[in-house]
Amino acid sequence: MTPRALDRRAALRAELLGLVREHVPDEAIEAQIEALLAEVLAEEPVVEPQPVVTDHLPPDQRIVVTGLGVISPFGVGVEPFWAGLVAGRSAIGRITFFDPSDYPCQLAGQVNDFHPQEFMDAKEARRMSRASQMAVAAARMALDHARLPLERMARDEIGVLIASGTTSMPDVEQAVTTLIQRGGMKISPFFIPAALPNMPSSQVAIHFGLRGYTTAICTACAAGAQAIGEAAEIIRRGDAEVMLAGGAEAPITALSLGAFCVMRALSTRSNHEPTRASRPFDALRDGFVPGEGAAVLVLERLSSAQRRGAPILAELIGYGVSADAYHVTAPDPDGEGAALAIRRALQQARLAPQQVDYINAHATSTPAGDIAETRAIKQVFGEYAYSVPISSIKSMIGHLTGAAGAVEAAATILALHHGQIPPTINLEHPDPECDLDYVPNVARQAAIQVAISNSFGFGGVNAVLAFRKMP
């Protein structure tokens, strides 16, 4: 803020205090405040986006996205995913993987048309967890999208970082059932290899023969975004030339549903109307709806992508991580940790808040979480928070937990690419404490140049990604 603005702020504060102390009638105070705010905002407008200047790094330090692979409750592939989002259509329905009748929440965002044998040998698929199957399939689609010539590349320089929020819950549930019903020696020998959190990464590496830097991240609902951000840092420091990064999760089991229900984390009000259950920022929201899926991004240096003439979908220009240090499940109610992660992402990108054209919100449809995120955005963006479009695609696909950050990063990149903002559906009764522009119910055309994607996880882990549309 300029010295002139600081002086004017001090004078404004004094004038407002004087109005209160003089017991001026309410109507007069309101009129005076409006006049003073108009004067200040006219002097230093904060609602106009600023020119984007992000080419401060050399091409070999700039990280771009050249491929996307998505499996979502809308179906297999980027096309059905994006078509469903911009149509404002809900993919949430009654759970069919098992009978959910005994549970307060009976809904999920299932992937009903995924057939792993279309991407891998059937015998190989049977030895993988469902999350690993989805990770391999999404990686295949991302590699094809990026036109990455694996047969001509040094596979020692291609790494993998696929995140998950937990272990493989279907395999844990099956193993426990076998233990109770038939004894421990009847547990599948493939249980441990299927259930380990690093297996989606490892299975992708094995399937494609990638011998580069391979690891995993398991930080609850922040994991998918954190995987993408860390993968970019791996490339920048020279440990890989290309990274396949993202998240995969298949948590729709009786075990996980029951566990989330007893935590009172899930929506229970709309079992009879599944498509209206997930309603971020709405006053009637009552919890999240679980979902499953995967997204994998191909990340590489700008110089490398330019040399091989690869399609460049977006540039990853910022990444910020923080911890709430507050509670194992509840967010910091003031959004302090989330705001810190947003600031760090903007700082790495060398962006002012007013340069952000769109925010893909974490917003899970929980009473506390959506308010905390709104407060975090206001902390960082100030008055501009009321002008920047914000939306939550969880209103349509539910919460994909460990895969959410990756799937939502893909949605953010597609929004930049297409110049269209997916809506927040089911926003029918605005919460007075959630009073920003959440792009309610209908997609919006917009000239988006810069966007951020927020991901916040249990344990207070916050991860934020900033993307730029390439000129």
Here the tokens at position 87 are 């149509």
pLDDT above 90 (res 454) = yes
Strands (E), 208-336: 214-215, 242-249, 293-301, 314-323
For residue 333, pLDDT over 90 is answered with yes
φ, ψ at 306 (rounded to 5°): -70, -40
d(CA 314, CA 63): 9
CB 290 within 8 A of CB 398: yes
Residue finishing a domain among 275, 307, 339: 307
Whether 377 is covered by a domain: the verdict is yes
pLDDT higher than threshold 70 for residue 162:
yes
Same domain, yes or no, for 257 and 126? yes
pLDDT at 25 over 90: no
Residue 216 has pLDDT above 60, yes or no: yes
- Which pLDDT score is estimated for 471? 81
3-state class of 148 per DSSP?
A: coil
User: What CATH number is given to the structural domain containing 216?
Assistant: 3.40.47.10
CA dihedral in degrees (169, 198, 369, 338; nearest 10)?
Answer: 170
Question: Both 293 and 348 in a single domain?
Answer: no
Mean pLDDT across the stretch 241-269?
97
Pair (439, 332) in one structural domain: yes
Q: Let me know whether 299 and 345 are in one domain.
A: no
Q: Which residues pair with 316 in a beta bridge?
A: 63, 467
What b/e string do you get for 182-217 counting C-beta neighbours within 10 Å, with b at 16 or more?
Answer: eeeeebeeebebbbbbbbbbbbbbbbbebebbbbbb
Distance, CA of 383 to CA of 359 (rounded, Å): 15
In a domain, 48, yes or no: no
In a shared domain, residues 461 and 328 = yes
Is position 313 within any domain?
no
Q: What is the pLDDT of residue 60?
A: 87
- What pLDDT shows up at residue 432? 97
How confident is the model at residue 29, as a pLDDT? 64
Alpha-helical segments (H) within 324-393: 336-349, 367-381
Asked whether the beta carbons of 357 and 389 are under 8 A apart, the reply is yes
315 in Cβ contact with 468 (< 8 Å): yes
**For 194, phi and psi rounded to 5 degrees?**
-80, -35
| 376 and 323 fall within a common domain | yes
> Residue 189: CA atoms inside 13 Å, Cβ hemisphere, count?
0
pLDDT given at position 47: 47
Domain annotation covers residue 27: yes
Flag whether 117 is in a domain.
yes
Q: What is the pLDDT of residues 339-385, one digit of tens each?
A: 999 999 999 999 999 999 999 999 999 999 999 999 999 999 999 99
Q: How confident is the model at residue 205 (pLDDT cuts 50, 70, 90)?
A: very high
Which structure tokens are listed for 228? 């993408």
Task: Give the mean model confidence (pLDDT) for residues 116-120.
Answer: 96
Give the number of domains in the chain.
3
Domain boundary among 249, 275, 307: 307
Cα–Cα dist 248/165, whole Å: 8
Residues in the chain: 471
Of the candidates 287, 433, 438, the one whose C-alpha atom is nearest the C-alpha of residue 371 is 433
Question: Does residue 214 share a domain with residue 90?
Answer: yes
Query: pLDDT band for position 46 (50/70/90)?
Result: very low
User: If pLDDT is split at 50, 70 and 90, which confidence band does 57 have?
Assistant: confident
Residue 333 domain flag: yes
Report the pLDDT averaged over residues 247-260.
Answer: 97
Which of 329, 188, 173, 137 minimizes the C-alpha distance to 252? 173
Could you write out the DSSP letters of every residue in 151-193? GGS-GGGEEEEEE-SSS-HHHHHHHHHHHHHH-GGGS-TTHHH
Give the residue, 5 or 324, on which the prediction is more confident. 324
Q: Within a domain: residue 220?
A: yes
In a domain, 400, yes or no: yes
Q: How is residue 471 written in tokens?
A: 């000129």
CB count within 10 Å of CB 361 equals 29
Q: Are residues 29 and 119 in the same domain?
A: no
Tell me the residue type at 403. Answer: A
Name the CA radius of gyration of the chain, rounded: 23
Which of the four pLDDT bands, split at 50, 70 and 90, describes residue 36?
Answer: low
454 torsion bin: left (phi>0), alpha (psi -120 to 50), beta (else): beta
Token pair, residue 158, equals 């291609």
Same domain, 283 and 360: no
C-alpha to C-alpha distances, 40 to 12, 15, 48, 383, 385, nearest whole angstrom: 9, 13, 14, 12, 17
- pLDDT value at 210 more than 50: yes
Whether 184 has a pLDDT exceeding 70, the answer reads yes
pLDDT of residue 303: 95
Residues 203 and 153 in one domain: yes
CB 235 within 8 A of CB 81: no
Catalytic residues: 221, 362, 399
**Could you tell me if 180 and 212 lie in one domain?**
yes
CA-CA distance, 383 to 390, in Å (whole number)? Answer: 14
Q: Give the domain extent around 29.
A: 3-43
Are residues 407 and 385 located together in one domain of the fold? yes
Please state, for a pLDDT cut of 90, what percent of the chain lies above it: 86
Residue 110: count other Cβ atoms within 10 Å of its Cβ: 22
Structure tokens given for 301:
């240096």
Question: What are the CA-CA distances from residue 302 to residues 76, 322, 354, 355, 440 (Å)?
Answer: 28, 27, 25, 22, 35
Q: What is the pLDDT of residues 372-430, one digit of tens each?
A: 999 999 999 999 999 999 999 999 999 999 999 999 999 999 999 999 999 999 999 99
Using a 10 angstrom Cβ sphere, with 0-12 exposed, 13-18 middle and 19 or more buried, the burial of residue 419 is middle
- pLDDT computed for residue 152 by the predictor: 87
